[in-house]
Amino acid sequence: MNKTVPAIIKRAMDGMGIAPCRILTAVSGGADSVCLLLALKDLGYSPHAVHVEHGIRGSESLEDCEYVRNLCVGYGIPVSVVHVDAPAAAESSSMTLEEAARELRWKALRDAADAEGISIIATAHHRMDQAETVLWNLIRGSSLSGLAGIRPVRRDGALTVIRPMLECGRDQIEDYLVQKNVSWRTDSTNADTDITRNAIRLEVLPLLEKLNPEAVSHIAQAASDILCEDEWLEARAERAWESVIISRGEGAGSDWTADRDEIKRCPGAVRRRILHRLISCCEGGGKDITRAHVLAMEDLVFGRSGRSVCFPGGVRAVSEDGILRLTRSNPEMISEIIPLDRDGTYCFPLKNSRIEAEVSYITWSGGEVPKKKYTKYLAYDTIQQNIVLRTRRPGDYIVVNSSMGRRKLKDYLIDEKVPRGERDSLPLIAQGSHVLWVVGMRISEGARVRDGVRAVRIRVKAVPSDPGGDISARESGCRSE
């Protein structure tokens, strides 16, 4: 079998049903993208190169621009060069530099495709990129869809994005360029192992290849097999979706309703896809929905009626007789109250983040109380209302001395110089109007534990909505039972 790069690309293009035509090609100046650009031209396609300069590497980045421009002029290939400011975009948003650069790059590619009237964008992801992606998704807790890695074809609105080099190895790519007597550029940041993908490529994959020289190839093959299984499951879930959904919400605050019994009858892999889609539809996107959220939703399906769970974006799901009901409140006006009525992990949405509270009910047996800022032991009165996790309400107070003297929460926050704009979003542990703990600040004197009293241990952490935030935090469970 012919293993040259053009032969591999032609086989991929034939499989996609793409005959010679105009194709927008992302070209960084590295070996991979230069190889794709020239191979497409050799195969009779009409590539239009787009080079995006991200404003990150100074003169080195500008030299890459000049290289790509000269290369395209030499081969008679039209080229568009786009300059963006990724550092400024990252600073003004909640994205990392890498995420901001990727967002700006894709916008530039879409804009160029629209300006040129081209409907296909080709990128130079290859076999090593595929292996990196699969391993990264695996270690951060991805679902089966993540283990399928990079898709050879995906739709982006009216555009079709293709990756015809996924079966190409790095050695084949460089051999092709050497034979054509073509040089390429090397991005100096590729050696930075503080970047996760670089660490996987430079440290993890070489170790795996010592164990088996075909490791990268086998990982890429597994991704291809998983993609086939994933597509079948997705089609099965699509068929089941219509029998599961009772009513669809229209706008923020409206209900989505699903048939619990129909969901129970679905195989596990199909059921979890349906639940993920249900949360995502109500939430309005789904980028912050993790495996933990889906498992919490599955608990609702099989649990007793009356339980509820909160998700990112102000979504609240409640199990009722025979149905699941999901409602999305306006994220700017969240006024949720989460009863902490038993052991478990509870999820509470705020404007730009969410709070996860791990709750354990105990009887305090004495000893020194651990002094941790975000883990507290609180005594409570079992005769009164349940302990809840919420934001402030009129009439809230905190006990400030051993004589049980009360102080209005508003006055306490003013004394502590908490900015006015932050007071309404402070998470509180409360029992009625008695604030037991202003999370991250003080606890009420009326909630101090003593021997033999009923107490609750609460460990709280804030989880940012930024999908590029800490993975271990974002994968934590969110359950309210």
Residue 341's alpha-carbon distances to 338, 436, 481, in angstroms, are 9, 15, 8
The end-to-end CA distance of the chain, in Å, is 58
H helices present in 76-141, as ranges: 86-91, 97-116, 127-139
DSSP code for 402: T
For 95-117, what is each residue's pLDDT tens digit?
778 888 999 999 999 999 999 99
DSSP code for 204: I
Residues 463, 475: Cα–Cα separation, whole Å = 10
Max CA distance (Å), the chain: 87
The pLDDT of residue 480: 34
Global pTM value: 0.67
Q: 344, 481 in Cβ contact below 8 A?
A: yes
pLDDT band (50, 70, 90) for residue 465 = very low
Backbone angles phi, psi at 84, to 5 degrees: -130, 165
**What interhelical angle do 170-179 and 31-42 show, nearest 10?**
60
Residues 169, 4: Cα–Cα separation, whole Å = 10
By the 10 Å C-beta count (0-12 exposed, 13-18 middle, 19+ buried), 134 is classed as buried
Look at 319 and 471; give whichever has higher pLDDT: 319
Q: What type of residue is 33?
A: S
The pLDDT of residue 349: 65
- Residue entry with tokens 């992302």: 26
Instruction: Tell me the domains of the chain and their CATH numbers.
Output: 5-229 (3.40.50.620), 248-333 (3.30.465.60), 338-474 (no CATH)
DSSP code for 438: E
Helix (H) or strand (E) holding 425: none
Provide the token pair at 391. Answer: 């934001």
424-463 exposure pattern, b = at least 16 Cβ within 10 A, e = fewer: eebbbbbbeebbbbbbeeebbebbbbeeeeebbbbebbbb
Provide the token pair at 45. Answer: 């396609």
Which bin fits 367, alpha (ψ -120 to 50), beta or left (φ > 0)? left
The pLDDT of residue 350: 62
Residue 354's alpha-carbon distances to 55, 315, 462, in angstroms, are 33, 12, 6
The pLDDT of residue 275: 94
Q: 422, 413 in Cβ contact below 8 A?
A: no
The pLDDT of residue 334: 44
pLDDT band (50, 70, 90) for residue 380 = confident
378-412 exposure pattern, b = at least 16 Cβ within 10 A, e = fewer: bbbeeeeeebbbbbbeeebbbbbeeeeeeeebeeb
Average pLDDT of span 112-132: 96
Q: Closest by alpha carbon to 37, among 29, 47, 28? A: 47
Backbone angles phi, psi at 34, to 5 degrees: -65, -40
Residues 283, 297: Cα–Cα separation, whole Å = 14
pLDDT band (50, 70, 90) for residue 269 = very high
Look at 31 and 189; give whichever has higher pLDDT: 31
The pLDDT of residue 481: 32
**What interhelical angle do 268-283 and 291-302 show, nearest 10?**
110
pLDDT band (50, 70, 90) for residue 134 = very high
